[in-house]
Amino acid sequence: MIRYKTEEEIELIRQSSLLVGKTLAEVARHMKAGVKTKTLDQIAESFIRDHNAIPGFKGYGGFPATLCISVNEVVVHGIPGDYVIKEGDLVSIDCGVIIDGYYGDSAYSFMIEPVAKEVRLLAQRTKESLYKGIEQATAGNRLGNVGYAVQSYVESFGYSVVRDLVGHGVGRDLHEKPEVPNYGRQGIGLKLQENLVIAIEPMINLGTRQIFQERDGWTIRTADRRPSAHYEHTIVVRKGNAEVLSTFEYIEDVINKSN
């Protein structure tokens, strides 16, 4: 069953989603070569709790941390630990929080300069593909248009779209109906209606789209061990233009000031 949201619910999801953006910005302030991923996780957890919110991922399905930190060939669901971030890394960080029972969900891939040109382009184009998808998430359009927009854009560069993992509805549950694939066909799938809240989250690989799961039961890697990028926004379907509830603004303020 798809749960369309009231405006009151959308406001709560907006608050959660904005706090995710602020949390990722706090993480960005500490993101540099030499930092352990578990340190970033601790910073995020403290920041969220200091804002009277609950880390949405910790304990979700047994996940042990506040952030999913997925470096280079790790696509998603990386567990923070003793890994030390180094120059050239592409560090994807996914975060969810709960405020008053409602989730917000957003992810950003950080480049630890200097990075290889092919990695920079992969990250830039993955972020662009997210906005191509969001452009299609309007009332009356079909869900297949969203996936098609992401897929056709990234495949034009020879990249591949991860198929086994998809975006999702967001609300009282982190993963609600419908599933939001990053591939698809125009005119096919669910007809989008106003007040549907979804997370759109392209996971784009430089090489093959094949992935495998590590023995830890979480970490998803590319089969060919080439890099993967991931960006995610929580949005609400509206007439005309989708409304983006999460934001990269705080994150990119931090990144731009440090450059």
**Residue ranges binding Mg ion (CB under 5 A):** 94, 105, 107, 199, 232
Choice between 4 and 60, CB closer to Mg ion: 60
Choice between 72 and 234, CB closer to Mg ion: 234
Contact 22, 250 (CB under 8 A): yes
Choice between 74 and 240, CB closer to Mg ion: 74
Smallest separation, CB 142 to Mg ion (Å)? 21
Long-range CB pairs of 50-53, under 8 A, 24+ apart, other chains included: 51/19, 51/22, 52/99, 53/16, 53/19, 53/97, 53/98, 53/99
153 φ/ψ angles, rounded to the nearest 5 degrees: -65, -50
**Nearest CA-CA partner of 162 in 178, 183, 179, 185:** 183
Q: How far is CA 219 from CA 28, 64, 70, 73, 234, in A?
A: 22, 12, 8, 10, 23
Choice between 90 and 199, CB closer to Mg ion: 199
Smallest separation, CB 232 to Mg ion (Å)? 5
Choice between 173 and 249, CB closer to Mg ion: 173
Choice between 105 and 256, CB closer to Mg ion: 105
3-state SS, 156-212, equals CCCCEECCCCCEEECCCCCCEEEEECCCCCCCCCCECCCCCEEEECCEEECCCCCEE
Question: Cα–Cα distance between 104 and 97 in angstroms, integer?
Answer: 6
- The H-or-E segment that residue 102 falls in is strand 102-111
Is 122 in a helix, a strand, or coil? helix
Choice between 168 and 221, CB closer to Mg ion: 168
Neighbours of 86 (CB within 10 A): 14
Smallest separation, CB 226 to Mg ion (Å)? 22
